[in-house]
Amino acid sequence: MKRRRATAWAASSLVAALALTGTLTGPVAAAQDRAGTVATATDPVTHAENDRVPEGSVWTQSYFPSSDNSGTELHADVLLPEALAKKKKKRVPVILSVGPYFGHSGQTGPEDWTHTGPSNRFQDFIEGTDLFDEGYAFVMVDLRGFGGSTGCLDWGGPGEQADVKAAIDWAAKQPWSTGAVGMYGKSYDAVTGLIGNNLDQRALKAVVAQEPVWDMYQYIYSNGVPRPNVTGTANAYNSIATVDQMADDDPRYLANSRWEETHPECLTENSAGYRIADQRDKHWTSRDLARMAKGTDTPLFVTQGFIENNTKPEEMQEYLANHKGPERGWLGQWDHVRGGDHTSDGRLAMGREGWYEETLSFYDHYLKGVKPKVDYPAYSVQDSTGTWRAQKTWPVVERSATLPLGDGSYVDDGGASARVGLAPSGEETPQPREQPSGDWDMENAPALDPAAPKGLAKGQAKRQTAGEITSSFFVWSKPVKRAVRVTGTPQVSLTAKGTGNVMVKLYDVAPDGTAVMFDEQVSLLDSGKLTVDLKSTDWTLISGHVLAVEIGSIQTGSWRDTPSGETIKVKNARLELALDSPADDRPTAGARSPFLDTYLRQYTVQLPPGPASFTIPSAGRH
């Protein structure tokens, strides 16, 4: 329990006890009033009156319609600099966050609050930037169906896009606003930031989006293959939408928060959308944020963990390529964290200092017209060695290569033949693949998939050498002569005979056979040609290392695939790589992300280099 909440809880318990005995008078009664004062649009509340209000701000609540003429009413918690209340003619720029996590009783479920107040979701950002002292307002808007807003959930869809448009317009037109709006968020409320950019509204001057989803389809399916959260994410957001809010909230807020009680069809319709597997369906094309970013130019500051297991770097490169405005980015080897987060032992989760200073400078530049005092890199990137570099853009591609992988065959059996084959080699025979529940929202997915069974890759390679056809086959490169970085979005193309599933993995193989799986993707497969984009990556193969490519059935990870049992024949497989030379790097400040070592422990296997069939060319000056 946080210190402030613990104090409030103790005080509230004392107040309740005295109330029951009829002895609630004097200073204690006054303390209760201060703790639970509720703001309205015309009655602002300070921290002295309600300890959930951030210090230095005054809290009001407002309601306004969404922009799609659906009758949806949106709720906003507004935090203005306290000094602004004394200067009624002064205006300030607005930092806006729009999402599902701003309910007064808690972000994803009931927390230990004893009275209502604005969400503390971005208290770290408020304190880290000294936001109110720096002359900004902070506005949190509940998406339709969440918190104090009415309407049916519409995960990243046209309804939510209308909500974002309305929120930007509303924030820009308030009497205390300069008309300049910036958006801030992480995960879901980073998605709404990308939506804001796509809407291309004049009032929106800058977006900061940490660990977003770049295309909503990719969070639920991988090229037609369901992910474990195919039904669970809908359940999670339905649950958040129906969380009971605080009893002392104002009547309008409470009535709106119970929207689903009288509109149960909202939950059913929300769940139904997630079950559409066809990426070409209108449900998903209307949520393809990467495609919809084409030609947009709002200044954009993003973060992305290349190895994170939640909001993965899928279609990130497409989004950034379609976006034509100024860009800033922190990209690297971390999980689903914020720029200023620390690990339990005090280390920075991303490994780089200065998140709040750089973010504030970004907003000052584009919302206030203040020239930055520090020349920040456009992109600060940490590769797989844990080393940071500065770039003008991402990816930097010094050489593109099309690498022939040849032919091969595998049985689409979900890894059954591979696992049975472990027993003769003396390795422990593993149990069937673990399947997580999948009941998570975009803030709470597992950080890691289950580790691959010990000996799986090594056993597969041995059986392939013996001429057997099992659950997958490998292709190896020659050792690289000098360090080369695989960057951007690798792509595999092939011609298949058979129907089922395909999984492609890339391994960084050391001379001693220690191999790290650093990229993967899956897809449904029919006879004919197939092209699959893997996740975006930034992985350096050091001198003497080998790139191994595995093509086969879905044997690891947590996809909910249905193996066909067919033998799949692969012809003319090719791997497209974007290459960069580490020798050309321009270093910038930053330490190794702690999560990188966690990832290496989880995804390192034994895979001795096999017969080389292709060469990775060098990149850069040589």
pLDDT, position 440 = 77
pLDDT, position 444 = 82
Q: What span, in angstroms and rounded, lies between the C-alpha atoms of 25 and 322?
A: 63
Phi (first) and psi of residue 465, to 5 degrees: -60, -30
Residue with tokens 């994803």: 108
Q: What span, in angstroms and rounded, lies between the C-alpha atoms of 376 and 89?
A: 34
pLDDT in tens, 214-250: 999 999 999 999 999 998 999 999 999 999 999 999 9
pLDDT in tens, 477-536: 999 999 999 999 999 999 999 999 999 999 999 999 999 999 999 999 999 999 999 999
pLDDT in tens, 585-618: 999 999 999 999 999 999 999 998 899 999 999 9
The closest alpha carbon to 143, from 169, 121, 165, belongs to 165
pLDDT at 31 exceeding the cut of 60: no
pLDDT at 255 exceeding the cut of 90: yes
pLDDT, position 619 = 86
pLDDT band at 84 (very low <50, low <70, confident <90, very high): confident
pLDDT, position 367 = 98
Mean pLDDT of 96-100: 98
62-71, 129-138, 170-179, 450-459: range with lowest mean pLDDT: 450-459
129-143, 184-198, 411-425: range with lowest mean pLDDT: 411-425
pLDDT, position 542 = 97
pLDDT, position 166 = 98
Higher pLDDT, 439 or 560: 560
The closest alpha carbon to 490, from 619, 620, 395, belongs to 395
pLDDT at 1 exceeding the cut of 60: no
pLDDT, position 431 = 60
Q: What span, in angstroms and rounded, lies between the C-alpha atoms of 177 and 180?
A: 7
What is the per-residue burial (b if ≥16 Cβ within 10 Å, else e) of 380-393? bbbbbebbbbbbee
Mean pLDDT of 108-137: 97
pLDDT in tens, 150-209: 999 999 999 999 999 999 999 999 999 999 999 999 999 999 999 999 999 999 999 999
pLDDT band at 27 (very low <50, low <70, confident <90, very high): very low
pLDDT band at 441 (very low <50, low <70, confident <90, very high): confident
Mean pLDDT of 428-450: 73
pLDDT, position 29 = 38
Return the amino acid letter for 57: S
pLDDT band at 442 (very low <50, low <70, confident <90, very high): confident
pLDDT at 118 exceeding the cut of 80: yes
pLDDT, position 435 = 64
DSSP 316-357: HHHHHHH--S-EEEEEES--S--TT-B-TTS-BSSS-S-HHH
Distance (Å) of CA 372 to CA 40, 130, 184, 271, 357: 37, 17, 19, 46, 11
pLDDT, position 86 = 72
pLDDT band at 341 (very low <50, low <70, confident <90, very high): very high
Higher pLDDT, 110 or 441: 110
Residue ranges of alpha helices (H) inside 210-322 are 216-220, 232-241, 251-257, 259-262, 265-274, 282-285, 289-292, 316-322
pLDDT at 80 exceeding the cut of 60: yes
pLDDT, position 433 = 64
Print the SS3 string covering 385-406: CCCEEEECCCCCCCEEEEEEEE
Higher pLDDT, 118 or 421: 118
pLDDT at 92 exceeding the cut of 80: yes
Query: Which residues does 534 contact at the CB level (< 8 Å), separation at least 6?
Result: 489, 490, 491, 492, 504, 506, 519, 520, 521
pLDDT at 418 exceeding the cut of 70: yes
pTM of the model: 0.93
Return the amino acid letter for 97: S
Give percent of the chain above pLDDT 70: 91
The closest alpha carbon to 534, from 477, 597, 479, 576, belongs to 576
268-282, 443-457, 548-562: range with lowest mean pLDDT: 443-457
pLDDT at 108 exceeding the cut of 50: yes
Q: What span, in angstroms and rounded, lies between the C-alpha atoms of 526 and 245?
A: 49
pLDDT, position 423 = 60
Mean pLDDT of the chain: 92
Higher pLDDT, 357 or 422: 357
